[in-house]
């Protein structure tokens, strides 16, 4: 794929809408009120339908007319997500926008951009929901900060993550790498520097960033990586992930092979997919009795193929990603998103907490005791389980990933406490996103995850840190290593030497 000239930006007939030439043809975008330009729904791969369903991504076809890139276009098949008491639409999107041509991306670029740093966003959503067009992930602020911002769709759920026999594995990661190759070939036309690309993502998107960092097929595709509420420890080997394939096939009453799955409508796949999600049911523990996802997610990348010969944590310890700058961290009270709006924090007794955690790991009673179960003033089983899962599934694995990385590494903790739900939501999963993107308005209000009047000064500072990291790789606090354990708490703007968490005793090293 040849790289287009960076000097092909022209206005359309009315002198307003910009037109840019990429390898496949011309695309017409739009000018925002502040002068930034955006281009929506630009294909980086062909539609994954027909024979290309459950197949590696193919280059998109060329077009002769100017393609309208002013509307978002379709998204990957998905169900909607909701939480009681809070509005998740700004963070999770409004569900499936149907259409075949969804392997597309959005580009936001500053006016008259040239040689700008590039940031490519990989959305979260548990590997089953999300898209490039979620309100909280709007790219306008990054364009104002001199960054060319790219957000991508990719295959999810059964079609993106399950290792279906007869189909290539890790199709979602292959989609992401195809998008990164498209960026390498085309981003100069939008004023971006292909030699200065930062990938970043949150939650499952953070997991995908970690996986891309550990993949030998990512070499040369990006220079920096930001992992928010993710890490490299949540992947399954192919043989264990095949249990999910077999269960879905059984629900659909089909053979567990690619040709059979290709015949199933996306709606039916989504229905079966929904039946294998949730905290009980399908057992994905390994021989040691450990499920690295704690049943929070059945749909993630796998290792043991050409994309990920080994799990990302092992890959980093062997030197993968040494030349990539890494910023990684988590929210201080991740589990509150699941335990507070649902009132599970106060409803789960100790015996039920032990049973639930025991379904994913050994020594569950010891874990919960280490996280306050039975101690005065520490709440019941739900509170202890919340604290334990916050560290087990998010905070400690992120520190393990940081310690394994052989290149320049910085660690943050997002510690601002949301006042939502009478102050109980706190520094929950996802609360960092509106600050990173400087989109506080979309997540504020009576049902917003941020509650009323979140601090704009913190959003301005956090957003500037992310944009600055993309520009130079620098951050105003010390690097992390296992001795210094330097962790920067963003809300109080203070770097601490963090103590080792109780979870470290119970997780694989």
Q: Which residues are catalytic?
A: 203, 334, 429
Distances (CA, A) of 31 to 34, 123, 139, 299: 8, 24, 13, 37
3-class DSSP state for residue 128? coil
Contact 167, 159 (CB under 8 A): no
Contact 72, 97 (CB under 8 A): yes
Facing residues of 104 across strands?
Answer: 43
3-class DSSP state for residue 268? helix
Task: Please give the helix or strand (H or E) that residue 131 lies within, else none.
Answer: none
SS3 readout for 404-459: HCCCCEEEEEECCCECCCCCCCECCCCCCHHHHCCCHHHHCCCCCCCCCCCCHHHH
Q: What are the helix (H) ranges across 253-340?
A: 258-262, 266-275, 312-317, 336-339
CA triplet 3, 180, 197: central angle to 5 degrees?
A: 90
Task: Please give the helix or strand (H or E) that residue 29 lies within, else none.
Answer: none
Q: How far apart are CA 274 and CA 295, in angstroms?
A: 13
Q: How far apart are CA 210 and CA 129, in angstroms?
A: 19
Q: How far apart are CA 273 and CA 132, in angstroms?
A: 21
Largest CA distance in the chain: 72
3-class DSSP state for residue 153? coil
């Amino acid at each position: 794929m040849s790289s287009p000239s960076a000097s092909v930006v022209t206005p359309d007939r009315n002198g307003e809408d910009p037109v840019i030439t990429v390898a496949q043809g011309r695309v017409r975008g739009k000018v925002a009120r502040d002068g930034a330009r955006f281009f929506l729904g630009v294909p980086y791969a062909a539609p994954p339908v027909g024979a290309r369903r459950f197949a590696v991504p193919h280059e998109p076809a060329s077009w002769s007319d100017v393609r309208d890139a002013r509307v978002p276009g379709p998204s990957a098949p998905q169900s909607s997500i909701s939480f009681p008491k809070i509005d998740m639409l700004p963070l999770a999107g409004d569900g499936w926008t149907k259409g075949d041509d969804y392997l597309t991306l959005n580009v936001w670029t500053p006016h008259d951009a040239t040689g700008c740093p590039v940031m490519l966003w990989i959305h979260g959503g548990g590997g089953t929901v999300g898209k490039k067009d979620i309100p909280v992930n709007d790219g306008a602020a990054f364009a104002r900060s001199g960054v060319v911002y790219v957000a991508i769709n990719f295959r999810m759920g059964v079609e993106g993550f399950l290792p279906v026999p007869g189909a290539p594995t890790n199709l979602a990661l292959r989609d992401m790498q195809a998008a990164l190759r498209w960026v390498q070939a085309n981003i100069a036309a939008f004023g971006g520097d292909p030699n200065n690309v930062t990938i970043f993502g949150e939650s499952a998107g953070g997991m995908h960033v970690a996986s891309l960092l550990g993949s030998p097929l990512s070499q040369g595709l990006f220079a920096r990586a930001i992992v928010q509420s993710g890490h490299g420890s949540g992947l399954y080997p192919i043989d264990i992930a095949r249990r999910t394939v077999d269960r879905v096939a059984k629900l659909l009453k089909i053979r567990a092979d690619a040709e059979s799955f290709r015949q199933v409508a996306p709606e039916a796949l989504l229905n079966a997919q929904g039946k294998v999600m949730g905290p009980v049911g399908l057992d994905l523990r390994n021989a040691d009795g450990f499920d690295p996802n704690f049943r929070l997610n059945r749909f993630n990348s796998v290792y043991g193929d050409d994309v990920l010969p080994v799990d990302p944590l092992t890959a980093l310890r062997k030197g993968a990603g040494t030349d990539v700058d890494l910023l990684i961290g988590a929210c201080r009270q991740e589990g509150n998103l699941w335990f507070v709006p649902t009132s599970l924090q106060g409803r789960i007794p100790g015996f039920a907490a032990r049973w639930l955690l025991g379904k994913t790991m050994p020594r569950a009673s010891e874990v919960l005791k280490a996280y306050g179960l039975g101690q005065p003033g520490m709440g019941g089983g739900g509170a202890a389980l919340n604290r334990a899962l916050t560290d087990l599934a998010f905070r400690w694995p992120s520190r393990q990933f940081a310690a394994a990385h052989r290149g320049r590494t910085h660690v943050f903790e997002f510690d601002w406490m949301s006042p939502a739900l009478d102050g109980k939501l706190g520094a929950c999963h996802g609360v960092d996103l509106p600050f990173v993107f400087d989109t506080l308005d979309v997540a504020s209000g009576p049902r917003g995850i941020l509650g009323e009047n979140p601090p704009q000064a913190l959003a301005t500072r956090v957003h500037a840190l992310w944009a600055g990291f993309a520009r130079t790789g620098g951050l105003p606090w010390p690097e992390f290593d296992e001795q210094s354990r330097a962790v920067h708490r963003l809300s109080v703007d203070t770097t601490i030497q963090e103590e080792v968490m109780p979870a470290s005793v119970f997780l694989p090293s």
